[in-house]
Amino acid sequence: MLRIYFLSQWYGLADEALEDAIYDSQAMRNFIGVDLGGENVPDTTTLLKFRHLLEEQHLRQAIFEEIGSHLKAKKLLMKEGTIVDATIINTPYSTKNAEGKRDPQMHQTRKGNQWHFGMKAHIGVDAESRLVHRLVATPASKSPKALPMS
């Protein structure tokens, strides 16, 4: 749970957005050690309760100071890099068009337990300035692994 809390702080995500981001991002799932084939991502309520527990016990600041000291000593602090986020852009399943077919560029993908049809916008953001420097649109089923983001 602590790694999930780190993700929420590093990326500025609220509990609900964090749950969605973990379902969307293989890198985040790898970081926290969740395999969707055998386990679920903690839900929003669980994330909220854990965050409140850390705050009630005054552990939040102590944890981040300790981690920061450790990373600084090992010279592992990230000063630059790219954050990649993928956003699903839903489109209608409808075949009520001139060709009577679905758009061939649109595909299905699963986010959590829900299926979506459409495209994904893969957005590259500079980690330091938080400025968007790259946007790639793909079918929803496309993995961002093969996309150049730098």
Q: Where are the domains of the chain?
A: 2-73, 82-146
Q: What is the pTM of this model?
A: 0.47
Continuous segment of H or E residues that includes residue 72: helix 60-73
Alpha-carbon Rg for the chain, nearest whole angstrom, is: 18
Structure tokens at 75: 């010279």
β-strands 107-111, 82-90 pairing: unpaired
- How many CA within 13 A on the CB side of residue 26? 7
Residue 32 is predicted with a pLDDT of: 92
Collapse the DSSP code of 40 into the 3-class scheme (helix H, G, I; strand E, B; otherwise coil) and give the result: coil
7-57 pLDDT, tens digit per residue, is: 887 787 888 888 888 988 889 999 999 988 888 888 888 988 998 898 889
Which 8-state DSSP code applies to residue 88? E
